[in-house]
Every structure is written in C-alpha cells, then in structure tokens.
Structure 1
Amino acid sequence: MQKNDPSRIYRKGTFVLLLLVVFLAITFLLDYIRISGYEIFPVRPEKEINLQINELYYQLANGKEAVDWGQLEGGLEYIQNEYDCADFRLVNLIRILYEAEDRMPESYRKQTQEVLFNFRYWWDEPGENSMCYWSENHQILFASAEYLIGQKYPDRVFSNSGLTGRQHVEKARKRILDWLEMRWNYGFTEFYSGTYYVEDIAALINLIDFARDEAVVVKSKMILDLLFYDMASQSAHTLFVSASGRAYEGNRKGGRQSTLGRLIHYFWGEGQDPGPGMTYGLLKSPNYTIPTVFSEIAKDSSVQVIKQSNGLDISELHAEGFGGTDDRSMMMQWGMEAFTNPEVIRNSLHHIRTYRMFSNDFLADFKMMDFSLLRWLRLEPIISRLLKPQSDGVAIQKGNTYTYRTNDYTLYTAQGYHPGTYGDQQHVFGMNIRNHFGIFHTHPALEKGVPNQSPNYWVGYGRIPHSVQDENVNLSLYALPEKKGWMEMDLLGYTHAYFPTSKFDSALLDGRYVFGKKGETYCAMIGAEPFELREGTTDNLIQHGKRTYWITEAGAAGTDGSFAAFVQRVKANPVAFDREALTLTYRSNGKRYELAFGKDFVVDGKVVDTNYRRYDSPYVQADRKDQTLTFRYHEKTLFLDFDGLLREVSD
C-alpha cells in the first residue's frame, strides 16, 4: 500500500471528523444539562408584604413621639429576601438609623443589623437573587446604601461579603464617584424620567446628609443640581413630562405620575406636603437647598428653546472608554440597558457568567446563549445581528432633546432618535397642554390589553418614528416593515395617539385633522390617513397604515387669535407626502419644513443640526465634559466646578 493511499487518508479524516462530532455533541449535551439546572430566584414575594418604612420615617421626621416600630418588619423581610427594589426600602431605613437609632428598640436594632450585614450590596458579592442592580437609578441606590451602612458600622464584618464596613465604604466610594462623573460628563441616561429621577434624588440626598467625605458630598450636590435643572427647564408649570429615556403611561399622559412624587407641587406649586416617600429626606435635609435660580427657571413664562444632549450612543462606548468588562464600563453599558446589542452582547454574557447572574429572572433568557461553542467561536455578535432581537430596543441611547417652552404649552422631541428601531420605554415626542395633561403618538408594540410591562400599548414603541421639531411644529414619520422581526412580539399595522377629547374645552375631529382647545392653548394633529377614535374610547386616536406621518402644531390665543382662526389656518397649510420615498413637506406661518426618513431635517432650505451640545439654552451653555458650569437667570446664578469641588450659589 502506498504511503499516501487516498483511502487511508479518507478513513483517517472520517475518524477525526467523527471524533469532532462526538466532542461537540458531548459538549452541547453537558452545556444543556448545566443550563437546564439554573435556578431562577423570585423577583417579588408570592404574597404581598406590607411595606411601611417610608411611613415610619415620615412620622419620626415630623416629631411623632409614639411610633409603632413594628412598621419596620415588612421592609426588613423584603430586604432580607433580596426581592427586586429592596434598595428602595433601604433609603429611609438608612435615614432612621442615622437620625433615630437611639430611639429604636433593641430587638429591632439587632434585627435590622442582622439583615444589613447579610445583604448582597453589589453583583460582585456572594449570593444570587433577582434584584436589578444595573439601571442608572439602581446603581446609585445600591452604592449609596453600601457606603452609608458601611460607614455606620466601620469595624463590623459583614457576614455575606466577609468585608468590614470600612472596606465596603471604599468599595462603594469608587462606584459613587464613577457614577457622579458619568452624569456630569454625559447627563442622565434615564433622561427626564418622571419615575427614576425620584430614585436618584433619594440616593443623592442620603449621601449629602450623611457621607463624611467632602468629594462625595460636594459632587452629589452638583449632580442633584443638574437633576433639578432638568426638572425646572422641562416642566410645564407643575407638570414634568418631556422626551425621556424611560417613561411609563402616566409619565406620558400627565397626572399624578408626572409630578416626581409630588415634589414639583411642593417646590414650584402651592407647597403641599408630599407625604411619605423615598424623597422625603430632601424636605428635611439640613445640607441641601434647591438653588433659587432653578425656581426662577421653573417659573419662567417667556418663550424659550431648550436644547440638550443626554447620555451616549452605543457606537460611542469604545471611544469614551466604556467598551470593556470592567465595573465602570459595565455600569455605563448596563446603565443604558444595553444587553443584547451586537456591540455589547459578549460583555453581557461575560459579566453574567462571572457573577452568577443566570439565576436572575431579568437575565435568565441569556442562558440560551450560554453554550461553549458560541463562546469559543465568538458567534454571539453575529447571532445578535442576524436575529435582531426586540431586546435591542431596550438600550437607551443618546437623547438630543429639543423643548419649545411657553406659558401655554411645551412641545418637545428627542430629535431623530434612532428611526425605525425597536423601542422599549423611550418617549420621543409629545406636547403638554399647559399643566393639564399631555398628548403624544406612538406605534404600539402590543395590542391593547396584552400584558407586558414594556413595551406595550401605551408604553414605549414597537417601532420608533423619525421625529423632529422646530419651535412649535413637529414632524414624525413612521415606516413599519411588512413583516415582523424573527423575535418581535407583534407588528401592528397602525399608529395611535393619546388625545383625550373629553379633557379639552373643545375638540374637533375632521378626517386627517384633529384639533383641541384647552383654556388659551391650541393643538393640531395632521395624519396621512383619516383619524378615528377607537371604539368605546374618547382618548385613543387611531391612524391605520404602515407608512404614515403625524404633524403636530401647537398654538395659543396670544399668537394665533381665535381657535376657529387657528383651525382654519392649519387646514389651509400645504402638506406633501411621498409614501414610497418616505418624505414629508409641510408649510406653516411662512416656514417650510422637510423631512426624509432616516435622513435630513430641513427648515427653509437649511439642514438642521440636531446633534446638540451638552447644554444649549438661555440659562446655561456648555459642551460635554466641561469642568465648570454656570446657570444664570434673573441675576440668580449657580457656579459649579466639578473637579475643583467648588459650588457657589448666588441667591
């Protein structure tokens, strides 16, 4: 037989291939067995727990002598079991420990300490649970709690981590300073969130009141200042609704959920006590007072254009130093809720594996990607690009926000925010009818009544429109695909608007037009197809079609005369829409607006640059990463030097 006998080579090759197949099969089987064994921890308790820590702190803070310390029990049980949002329950528990521990009965003091010493304060510590550690607000809540509890008990060894309180302080301090620096340089990822700014306030005011570190305290004050500037500049009187990285139904429509736990009513309204809540410490703080300049801005009734850049795009992560798997990078990536996007999916899986987080219910679906072959061949980004999962839309990317603010209304837009992509909790456009209520349009991700926290019928988007604004006019183009994505929950063939006709003084629905009048405020919406109210509703305006537009124009008696004149003028405005090319042209009040889907926004023949500076408003001008900021209005100023730890208030 010849040395290079082809039959021999063939048999050898077949044998090697067989070995490879067997190896891969065994690897797959072992991976499958391992993955199937992952235990998922509960997010919430099976039976509702009576949580009264906020009520107890409220009583203590207002001088009530005889309190029922049994109000601690439900909260301690919740924290001990590490249910999601246990960090919320720690906020006022910490304030009780720092302000009233001497009043606490010994049995409750010991029980509290036992719970706190066994708690898992960060994802790198021993244990497993289904707490969300990673979103922007949770990051600072956990770090604030770990720092202050460690500071309270510096020499105690925490039984879960094996670290002393002093070591916990140092560990949390780095995360706090990283988090604060990110907010200073880039703003809030969860920008203008009527829900999550509350949590940020709660964490920051605790650090301001109790931390014994000058850098932590002063920088926390500065970031709280930036948060209050956002609130002041985006509020419509006592309504805080604007374009947002994370918004729920009430955050879009207005009402109780749009007053930041009633804080706006307290500071800029009639001063009503907001009652028990996570942010009540702010009202009792001896160390932080909202600078007067922000109160002046909040009450400014003049016409203003407010531009701002908030957060980062995924494409910027590497250039900005956040592309790795170190703690700081993951805080930015996961703070953006970027998990499955091709640019970060390997980082996510590395982090989940490293810190035993497949058992976390929020991350449990990642187990389907936890096969060794995928990791060895680095296939995860390729699979993500091919599948284009709807979870990619969870990522909160940079919001270049434009707000046109008048005494009668605010109109706001996250300019050109990733048109055509999936959405989750983003809110890219709307109008506030003074401080009465909001209106907005969206492409629902799911049909009405289908349960899902987000996205759903009123929260987030199935597909995000290309939405742009100039002063009192917004143009939005929707381009819905013919077929839903492979992992898309649904693809509804219509868009709809929240337009509560019963809340207006007058409302007129006329084919492709709808108008509303409330007090001195007017609004108009124009569509590509006739509008219709969904059967049985007075606030749910439907526009059928997958390639459509919504034009929104705001007006007021002072600038437009009578409501009838406003209606007549808008109906006479020329509109041109090319459904195939997805281009829209609108003329109003002598201006010509042009928008091409995924391309330029043009006003009067000039391309509009919608990539904004960090701050661009009459109140403050600054670029990203500027070391100093000066807020100024009505001779009131606030000067901040972040690295120099200098904060100067001129009231």
Structure 2
Amino acid sequence: ENHQILFHVTAYLAGQLWPERVFANSGWTGREQMRRNQPRIINWIRRRLRGNFSEWDSNAYMALDVFAMLALAEFAASERLRQMATTLLDKLFFLLACQSFRGAHASTHGRCYVTALKSARVENTSSLQRIAWGMGIFNGETRATGLLALARRYRVPDVIQRIGADVDTTLVTRARSYASFRPQFDMRGDAWDVRTLTYRTADVMLSAALDYRPGEMGIQEHLWQATLGPEACVFTTYPGNSQEHGNARPNFWAGSARLPRVGMHQRTVICLYQLDPNVGLGISHAYFPTAMFDDWRIDGQWACARVGAGYIALWGDGDLVLTDSGRHVAQELRSQGAGTAWIGHVGRAAQDGDFDAFQQRVRAHPPQMETGRIAWTTPDGNALAFGWEGALLVNGQPAAWDAYPHYANAYTDTPLDAEIMTIAHGGQTLQLDLKHGRRVP
C-alpha cells in the first residue's frame, strides 16, 4: 500500500522536474510519466479518503504515507493533487491523534515491527506527533519528519493540533475501514474490512481490531494492545518463530502465525486462539515487560501492572508464569493451560481506587470457560460471553460491530461511505470533502 503511492509520487515529481527527458527504465518522457501517474495517485488517494488503509494505523508505514502526501502538497504542479494530498494529510493526522496515548501510537496496527512495539520512542510516527502537537520524540525517522518541519504549504490544522494535545478527555473511537484489493497493484483481488475500537483515558489506552480474519495466516497484524506508557504495554501473540528481526513475518512478537479472534467492549478485550503444534511455535504468549511498570503482581491466572494511576489486568486460561531466563526474561508470560484464551482489562485510580482495590475488583468474578466459549462479568457489571463463533454477547445482547461507522468519537461522527467528514473540538471545526478530496471552505 505505501510502496504504491511512493512509486507513483516519485515518478510524477521526477517527470515534473525533467519533463522533456526520457527515463531509461520506462522509455517515457517526464511529461508522459506525469500523465500516466497522476490518475494512479488520484485513485490511490480517493480510496484512502473514503475507505481508509488496509495497513490501518501502522506505526511504521503511516509515516511513509505522510511523506508521499507532503511531497505532493509541497511540490506538485497540479492544484488538484495538492488539494487531495492536503485533505488526506488532515485525515491522517486526525487518525494519529485519536489512536495515540501521550505521543505513543499505541493502537492496533495493520502492520508493525518488534522494536516499535516494545518502545513507542522508535515509532516512525513519533516525530510527526512531536512537530504536530508536541508529544512523542524526535528519532531516526527523518523523511516525513524533515519534510513536515520544512513544509511551507502544509500545516496541521489547529483543531487537529488541539485534539492531539487533549490527553485528559476520555475517548472511545469506533472505526471501520474497507475496500477491495486490485490484482494489478496488490497481487490479490479480494475485499478487506477491519473494524477497530479504541478506549483511551488520561492514564491508559486499550485498542483492538474486532473479529479480523480469525484463524487465517497472519503476517504483521497487531490485533490488540493495552498501554500505560511508551514502553509499558501488554499484548498477546501466536509467535510464528523465535526471531525478532523485521524480515521474519510473523515472528516472536510482531504478528501471529494464525490470527486470533478478538472481541472488545468498553475497557475489556477477549482474545481467543486456535493453536496448532505444526504451525509457528504452536503456543500463545503475552508481552509483559515488568521493568517498565511501577508495580506488578502475578498470582495464579492473573497478572496485573500499574504505571502512575493506570492499571492493566491480564488473565490466562491457566496459571501465568513469567519467563525467568533467556532473551525474554521478565518480559514474557505463558499460560500453563491450553493458551487459547486471554482477557485484558484496563483501569485507573479515579475509577477503580488504588492498585489493590483494582485487583480485587477484577478477581471478584473468575472467568469461566465452557466448550470453547469464555464468560466473564467485568468490574463494571457487564456480563461478557465470547467464542470462536457468533457475536460477542454483552448482557445477553450481541455487540453491534456490523453497524460500525467510518469514524466516530467525541470529535467526529462520520458514517460509512460519507462524503463529508466534520471534525470539531473546542469551538473549532474542520470539514473534509472525502468525495472530491478538498477542505470545505
């Protein structure tokens, strides 16, 4: 996805720079390069304005999408391309603002790498946040960051800057992204569809991709995460192998050999795996970096952690054991049960009392597993039931995932296939024409 637009934009801008030169690889003049690549760029942008990204909320590749759009917004001779790129940039920065926790792009990701999962300080999107609204840090990502810093035409709108800096508002973001792959560009032709739910407070964030291709082979998908700080995060995977480098996809921490079935309601996530000893490592495990927590406890099937006033509780289908030797010492949890079911629940002092009180609340009703289905009554009193088939039941009623809008939270309510996205915060409003690719005056 990101390679496509980088290639199209590079070819277009190179042709614009040397319109009469003949390019050796294509045999076309620069003017012909522009003519051929402009419709490709328009089609690519239009599909992301209306349908969003198959590499959704990627803390690796969103920066490259921003890089390509900034190059167009700053340098394209075509006013139409500049307008469309500017509109998609506005949308991208809005998505980044809503899917981040104090500068950490800590949401579910369509594609990811281990280093940026373990530390938000090395995310490619961190430096963009630093410039846009003063969070995150400057790191080795210099392409999009450098261009944003030097941009003369594009500026992140004030309303989006304010949203990015608003860390105290409790925010629940529902999003649905979908389109169809095109064989000539994607080497596949099927439809894709992802629904995500993110719950964020001033102290903790929980994010998940709901019921996304459960049981299918995974690559780099990161389907749920709870976040307390830049390095203080918790998630589970089904490791494809024992490697951590980026060329192993999936590997020990990034992606899953087979994707789990994930459900989420409010501040609780349930993650189910179908494990196969002949696929990947045949286990599931949890990332639980004890050195990054202010306090933590492991007792039976529960592992709980605290950073500041934020809490995370993790339950496994057997007693949880912290790895005590090797590369993953004091970072990895494994269940002594089947390893097919995990629950994550987040909390905060303002809602749950002190850390001891939080732990008592999550333990009050032990989760129950029956015939492949897990049931738990949360501290909020919600009776959840979830299995490999059927809907997530909340107090006996199915969660309405099929009715998800394109994007909805406290700042926007944008239906699926909407032509206009209205973004508002503190009396400021920005309207984006998603159909034509322009800001609405």
Same topology, TM > 0.5: yes
Please say if residues 628 and 641 of structure 1, whose CA atoms lie closer than 8 Å, have aligned partners that are also in contact: yes
Match of 1:558 among 350, 353, 359: 350
CA 1:574–1:541 in structure 2 vs 1: closer, same or farther (change >3 Å)?
closer
Whether 1:400 and 2:195 are equivalent positions in the alignment is yes
Question: Following the alignment from structure 1 to structure 2, what is the Cα–Cα distance between the partners of residues 270 and 305?
Answer: 20
Please say if residues 250 and 256 of structure 1, whose CA atoms lie closer than 8 Å, have aligned partners that are also in contact: no
SS at match of 1:476: strand
Other-structure match for 2:148: 282
Please say if residues 261 and 277 of structure 1, whose CA atoms lie closer than 8 Å, have aligned partners that are also in contact: no
Please say if residues 401 and 413 of structure 1, whose CA atoms lie closer than 8 Å, have aligned partners that are also in contact: yes
Question: Following the alignment from structure 1 to structure 2, what is the Cα–Cα distance between the partners of residues 270 and 476?
Answer: 30
SS at match of 1:311: strand
Other-structure match for 2:318: 529
Q: How does 1:22-41 map to 2 (within 5 A)?
A: none
Other-structure match for 2:170: 303
Provide the aligned C-alpha RMSD in A. Answer: 2.2
SS at match of 1:209: helix
Matched pairs, number: 434
SS at match of 1:479: coil
Letter of the structure 1 residue corresponding to residue 364 of structure 2: A
Give the deviation of 1:203 after TM superposition: 1.0
Please list the CA deviations of residues 556-610 of structure 1 after superposition, one character each: whole Å capped at 9, or x if unmatched: 11111111111111112231102xx210100022110110213210101110021
| TM-score of the aligned structures, taking structure 1 as reference length | 0.64
Other-structure match for 1:571: 363
Whether 1:440 and 2:235 are equivalent positions in the alignment is yes
Whether 1:158 and 2:28 are equivalent positions in the alignment is no
Other-structure match for 1:590: 381
Select between 228-237 and 616-625 the one with higher mean Cα deviation.
616-625
Question: Following the alignment from structure 1 to structure 2, what is the Cα–Cα distance between the partners of residues 447 and 556?
Answer: 34
Question: Following the alignment from structure 2 to structure 1, what is the Cα–Cα distance between the partners of residues 8 and 354?
Answer: 55
Question: Following the alignment from structure 1 to structure 2, what is the Cα–Cα distance between the partners of residues 478 and 160?
Answer: 47
CA 1:540–1:293 in structure 2 vs 1: closer, same or farther (change >3 Å)?
same
Give the deviation of 1:197 after TM superposition: 0.9
Letter of the structure 2 residue corresponding to residue 514 of structure 1: A
Whether 1:200 and 2:65 are equivalent positions in the alignment is yes
SS at match of 1:398: strand
Whether 1:215 and 2:98 are equivalent positions in the alignment is no
Please list the CA deviations of residues 247-279 of structure 1 after superposition, one character each: whole Å capped at 9, or x if unmatched: 111332333223515222233236976677111
Please say if residues 499 and 541 of structure 1, whose CA atoms lie closer than 8 Å, have aligned partners that are also in contact: yes
Other-structure match for 2:55: 190
Match of 2:128 among 232, 238, 263: 263
Q: How does 1:417-432 map to 2 (within 5 A)?
A: 417-432=212-227
Question: Following the alignment from structure 2 to structure 1, what is the Cα–Cα distance between the partners of residues 155 and 216?
Answer: 41
Question: Following the alignment from structure 1 to structure 2, what is the Cα–Cα distance between the partners of residues 449 and 292?
Answer: 39
Give the deviation of 1:159 after TM superposition: 2.7
Whether 1:604 and 2:399 are equivalent positions in the alignment is no
Q: How does 1:342-491 map to 2 (within 5 A)?
A: 397-447=192-242, 452-481=247-276, 484=278, 490-491=279-280
Q: Considering only CA atoms, is the larger Rg found in Structure 1 or Structure 2?
A: 1
Higher helix share: 1
List runs of 5+ in structure 1 lacking aligned partners.
Answer: 1-135, 323-327, 345-395, 485-489
Please list the CA deviations of residues 84-128 of structure 1 after superposition, one character each: whole Å capped at 9, or x if unmatched: xxxxxxxxxxxxxxxxxxxxxxxxxxxxxxxxxxxxxxxxxxxxx
Other-structure match for 2:298: 509
Question: Following the alignment from structure 1 to structure 2, what is the Cα–Cα distance between the partners of residues 473 and 449?
Answer: 28
Give the deviation of 1:452 after TM superposition: 4.9
Please list the CA deviations of residues 139-158 of structure 1 after superposition, one character each: whole Å capped at 9, or x if unmatched: 11111111111011111222
Identity, in percent, stands at 31
CA 1:607–1:207 in structure 2 vs 1: closer, same or farther (change >3 Å)?
same
Other-structure match for 1:133: none
Q: How does 1:138-157 map to 2 (within 5 A)?
A: 138-157=3-22
Whether 1:330 and 2:184 are equivalent positions in the alignment is yes
Letter of the structure 2 residue corresponding to residue 147 of structure 1: Y
Give the deviation of 1:190 after TM superposition: 0.9
Give the deviation of 1:448 after TM superposition: 5.2
CA 1:625–1:330 in structure 2 vs 1: closer, same or farther (change >3 Å)?
farther
Please list the CA deviations of residues 432-459 of structure 1 after superposition, one character each: whole Å capped at 9, or x if unmatched: 1044532111111113579952111111
Please say if residues 318 and 339 of structure 2, whose CA atoms lie closer than 8 Å, have aligned partners that are also in contact: no
Please list the CA deviations of residues 361-405 of structure 1 after superposition, one character each: whole Å capped at 9, or x if unmatched: xxxxxxxxxxxxxxxxxxxxxxxxxxxxxxxxxxx9422000001
Match of 1:548 among 334, 340, 356: 340
Question: Following the alignment from structure 2 to structure 1, what is the Cα–Cα distance between the partners of residues 137 and 291?
Answer: 28
Question: Following the alignment from structure 1 to structure 2, what is the Cα–Cα distance between the partners of residues 206 and 144?
Answer: 8
